[in-house]
Chain A
Amino acid sequence: KAGVTQTPRYLIKTRGQQVTLSCSPISGHRSVSWYQQTPGQGLQFLFEYFSETQRNKGNFPGRFSGRQFSNSRSEMNVSTLELGDSALYLCASSLGSAGGSTDTQYFGPGTRLTVL
């Protein structure tokens, strides 16, 4: 079974631009979660999608948004980029049936975003 894939792997943008990141989950997984990882804040939860609906949301501004398609692939969008958005963005997929707490999460390799 193929693992979780994320594209692109590396991205450089300038302040004020917007960016879209993509995540393809493991086949059969219906839940996709997104996380931001920075040296200062560590791992932080962004949001989770299950069956095309946002099921959970972390404490991030509205500039961060996402969606999930019928094939469970997910995209994350960040508008009006700020320098502080430079981070490793990770997605993880899981079956999703247990509501998240007891699901094993399978992480993708991440997209490293640099905002100049």
Chain B
Amino acid sequence: KQEVTQIPAALSVPEGENLVLNCSFTDSAIYNLQWFRQDPGKGLTSLLLIQSSQREQTSGRLNASLDKSSGRSTLYIAASQPGDSATYLCAARNQAGTALIFGKGTTLSVSS
């Protein structure tokens, strides 16, 4: 049974810092992995999707990596800004068309 864990649960950094959010999964036979952002009281915004055959994906200041053999993914945020403050969720999918299995998220606070 797939389980997804995110560490740390909360993170506070000053503006401008580069930071890494960690995600681990127990079953390495994943189909893909998706990173989301959730602002308080809002829905989920998809940030990056990494297919199982890919090692990383980039979008602007965000870079997500995937290492299936070690069961890990990281989300790298460069030059953090106060607007990056939100909860970041990692979710793994075991097969095409199946549901996502979520971690409990990392709540990021970036201070100006």
User: Do A and B form a real pair?
Assistant: no
